[in-house]
Structure 1
Amino acid sequence: MNDSDRQAQMLYGFNHMQYMSTFFSLGMYYDIELIIKDKRYKTHKSILHAASPLFRTRLNQNIRQMVMNCEGIRDESIAKAFDFIYKGTVELRLEQVANILKLADMWQMDELKKYCYSYLEIVCQDNRQVYQKNEEIDDYLLDNFLRITKHEKFLNMSADNVKRLLSSDNLQVSSEEQVFEGLSQWVKYDWTNRKNDLYSLMKCIRFSLCSVSFLLEEVTSLCCESVEGCQLLLDALKWHEMPQKRCNLPLMNFKSRIKNKVLVIGPFAIETYKLRTKSWTDFCTVDIQNVNFSTAVFQNNLFVFGGWNCEDRSHERVYSFDLLTGELKHLSPMKVKRSWSTAAVVNGRIFIMGGYSYENKLETVEEYDYVKNSWKNVASMKSKRFGHASVVYKEDIYVFGGESGKEYLNSVEVFNTKKNQWKILCPMKWKRSSLAAVVVDDYIYCIGGHSDSPLNNVERYDPGRDTWTEVSDSPVKQIRQSAICHNRKIICFGDHNSPLVQEYDPANDQWRIISEMPNSRNHYNAHVVDLNL
């Protein structure tokens, strides 16, 4: 194809898009209606299909209306996104770009994201200015702190922006030591001009979360460059060594950073959900050909236990997947084949409880020794159960509901991991299987599941009093959902019938729908990951 042909082809496509843009603005020839924040946008499936893999996943021939979640997105940003979809270009202002980038991330519109970044580079001339002016780029810094601390763009940041970064609860690090090491690199890069900023920046470090050995070995040399730094180090050591004096140490921040990523696991793939932006990305595919497995995350490894596949039904195989390197290992198999079981980690000990094995329903419990790669039996539960839920609270494992093979269960029992003993507790008000359970503060919430039909009722358990209280129902009935706790709120991920993501705020006993899974799925697990992926 010569240049003349290319030019003619581009003009032909441009003219067609002008017509389609006119059709959109006039609401002509549309075949689908998007409902966004109580507004209706008449548009065209073929155009949406070409714009984003999200639309390609959700659109089908019969659908005529589609609800899109745009939490936190301004109307003007939605209008700009449609301009880009139909024209391939859009007029931007600097104050708009962060919100448009957020929408582009939600709708998986990579071309719009590239367009926004190109605009920022032109306006700011220097990527360092981009980092300082745009909140979406701040999100990048927060999410990738370890990757950027040695980069020139970080080392040349202003003291105010470094302080804003280090102060954020959303800084994604595995340990507070990593935050101090980043600060140390920034200060030493231009020590003469930055040493006067050291004390104010060091107050952003949560030294109460650092180990005593790290304080003595790594922090001492930098702290002792100033009297104020010495006092800060002394207060940190008092926090650890003299807990009775903590009330007299007001500068000690003991609040943990908020983890920002959730891994949604299975079947056959892992996706990442970013909690702050409510956006999804593919993490990896995993060659584990089974469903109804149980999972645990421990020491940067994802463990997958048992499950069910078409070849041999329930099985005893165990895998570990290194979340940092992507290495998949086969581990020592469990003693018993089991699917529909649950897993729990208590002080480095991994327990597998109950489940289903061929026609047998299980009450047995096994403990996995990570160091020795071996299994042993521990005390069995009081009841046989599968499809149950379990949580860890104060070093004990609580198990809720499930099925016995004869009936749905509302029974509850707790495992004292130190005494190797099970105890029966007050039952739930509702019999339920395939439910979700999650700990928030000093309560345990049991959500949804099914008992002949799907449920959306929610119960709250008080372990201190062994009592149950019913709270507000969730908006959507979901079976085999998975729930996590984030920032003292519950986030429930959907099932194959309803991919909606729901959030519950215990403080006001209210639910709301906040997002949608890109792929409807069944037989999966979700974990908040405590590492910088």
Structure 2
Amino acid sequence: MGHQILDNIDNKGEVIVIHENWSTNGATRTDLNISEEGKPIMKRPDLPFSSVNSILMAKTGATSVAIPELGEVWVIGGREDPNPSQSNDEMATNVVEAYDFVNDSWNVAGVMNKEQQYAGAGRVDDLIAVLGDWWPTNTNPRKGAAGMNQVYNLSNSTWYAGASFPSGREVGNAGVAALGDYIYVVGGVNAYSGMNPTNQTLRYDPVNDEWDVMANMNRSRW
């Protein structure tokens, strides 16, 4: 039914939010505008974007986390490119850059204990965990993911090494998200070539510094 109605709308770029009120007598719909032809009119809310000041150092493979109480977004680690017009000068970094979204300004917020690239970050309470690493470069010898875990404690402004990934499950370039008391690491890759993506799901408890292996995804991805 919904698809049939939308197929009859000439401008499918217009959408609307429909609120449904459920009761024992069924459902009623509110905030729904109807055109003269009896069709629903949907309008997409405006989501304006604006340009902001650039990050201090061009980089890839960084991760980020919001610190609302500081009015900042931190960009953590990654692979810096001092001169984008020059080849083979990129290097892993341990620098944390903070973007002040009120004043549209950048500053160096600190440094991690070790360089880390292609990680993901999640926050639980005052703990920010930077999880995973990947080294897709021509190092000699070749370097696989080491299962890096660096944790920042906002309450005392210190970095420390958290528990490494479970043995044999070290990855980088994975999906990382915090939910409740845990940070989940989903998928990822280990080899420099990127040819061995995984379908694993790991769960990290930053308070107790413990890992759990969860159910696998249906498909491998990174």
TM-score, normalization: structure 2? Answer: 0.70
**1:435 is the counterpart of 2:174:** yes
Aligned length: 182
Name the CA distance, whole Å, in 2 between partners of 1:443 and 1:164: 38
Greater RCO, 1 or 2 (C-alpha within 8 Å, sep 6+): 2
Distance 1:466 1:327, change over 3 A: closer
Contact 1:393 1:439 in 2 (8 A): yes
Change (3 A) 1:351 1:141: same
Gap change, CA 1:365 and 1:140, over 3 Å in 2: closer
AA partner of residue 434 (structure 1): N
Match of 1:421 in 2: 158
Match of 2:113 in 1: 382
Q: Residues 411, 381 of structure 1: CA spacing in aligned structure 2 closer, same or farther, 3 A cutoff? A: same
Query: Are 2:132 and 1:393 equivalent residues in the alignment?
Result: no
**Using a 3 Å threshold, how does the CA distance of structure 1 residues 428 and 165 change in structure 2: closer, same or farther?**
farther
Aligned-residue sequence identity (percent) comes to: 19
Distance of aligned partners of 1:338 and 1:418 in 2 relative to their CA distance in 1, 3 Å threshold: farther
Give the RMSD, CA atoms, in angstroms.
3.3
Bigger share in strand: 2
The whole-number CA distance in structure 1 between the counterparts of 2:98 and 2:29 is: 41
Length-normalised TM-score, structure 1: 0.31
The equivalent position to 1:366 in structure 2, one of 71, 93, 97, is 97
Please list every run of 5 or more consecutive structure 1 residues that lacks an aligned counterpart in the other structure.
1-96, 115-138, 144-156, 167-181, 183-282, 284-322, 480-533
Q: CA deviation at 1:466?
A: 1.1
Question: What secondary structure, in the 3-state scheme, does the structure 2 residue paired with 1:450 have?
Answer: coil
Look up the match of 1:126: none
Structure 1: how far apart are the matches of 2:113 and 2:144? Answer: 16
Contact 2:134–2:190 under 8 Å retained in 1:
no
Change over 3 Å in CA distance of 1:140–1:379 after alignment to 2? closer
- 209, 214, 219: which one pairs with 1:476? 219
Residues 164 and 426 (structure 1), Cα distance of their counterparts in 2 relative to 1, 3 Å cut: farther
Question: Which residue of structure 1 lines up, in the alignment, with residue 67 of structure 2?
Answer: 346
1:3 aligns with: none
Output the CA distance in 2 between the equivalents of 1:440 and 1:344.
Answer: 14
**Contact 1:396–1:414 (CA<8 Å) still a contact in 2?**
yes
User: Could you tell me how far apart the structure 1 residues matched to 2:74 and 2:104 are?
Assistant: 13
Counterpart residue identity of residue 402, structure 1 = D
3-state SS of the aligned residue for 2:59? coil
Say whether 1:465 aligns with 2:201. no
Q: Tell me the equivalent position of 1:337.
A: 58
Which residue of structure 1 lines up, in the alignment, with residue 36 of structure 2?
none
Whether the 8 Å contact between 2:188 and 2:221 is mirrored in structure 1 is yes
From the superposition, tell whether residues 381 and 165 of structure 1 become closer, same or farther in structure 2 (CA, over 3 Å): farther
**Helix, strand or coil for the counterpart of 1:328?**
coil
By how many angstroms is 1:440 displaced? Answer: 2.4
Conserved? CA contact 1:379–1:420, under 8 Å: no
- Please give the alpha-carbon distance, in whole angstroms, between the structure 2 residues aligned to 1:354 and 1:340: 8
CA apart distance, 1:328:
2.6
Q: Which one has the bigger helix percentage?
A: 1
